[in-house]
Amino acid sequence: MIVPYYHVIILAAMLFALGMFCTLARRNLIMILLGVEIMLNAAALAFVGAALQWQQMEGQAVVLFVLAVAAAEVSVGLALMVSIYRRSGSLDPDVRLTPAGKGAE
């Protein structure tokens, strides 16, 4: 006897929208990656709610895989960010990469 299921879904939707806003609007590659994390977390919340609604364990198992995918994504993504920063000297997604190493906008 907790809360209605649709409250959980609406909460997850609001979190997902916040993450989407962070991903789309920010001008910093690290913040964009952070927005992706927020979205993954919101999806995980919806899955846990669904697992409780239908009393099935699959939803919780999916969250385990979401966590693993988030960890893999972050490790490769942040390595890429560091590489981009070394090449262009900036984390602005609008900056152009040049093969010479010194990026110019």
Partner 1 sequence: MTLFAILFYAMAALVLLSTALAATRRNMVHAVLCLVVSFFGTAMLFYLLGAPFLAALEIIIYAGAIMVLFLFIIMMIRTDRQPDKIFTTGRLIAAGSICAVFLFALVGLTLEHPGGRDLLMAAQASPAEFGFYVFKYQWLSIEIVSMLLLVALIGALLLGLKLRRRSTDA
User: Which of 31, 47, 39, 51 has its CA nearest to residue 14?
Assistant: 39
88 binds partner 1 (CB under 8 A): no
97 binds partner 1 (CB under 8 A): no
User: Which of 31, 34, 28, 36 has its CA nearest to residue 93?
Assistant: 28
100 binds partner 1 (CB under 8 A): no
Which residues lie below 8 Å from residue 34, measured CB to CB, with a gap of 6+?
Answer: 22
Which residues lie below 8 Å from residue 90, measured CB to CB, with a gap of 6+?
Answer: 103, 105
104 binds partner 1 (CB under 8 A): no
39 binds partner 1 (CB under 8 A): no
Residues in touch with partner 1 (CB under 8 A): 1-11, 13-22, 24-28, 30-31, 33-35, 37-38, 41, 44-45, 48-49, 51-53, 55, 57, 60-61, 63-65, 67-76, 78-83, 85-86, 90-92, 101
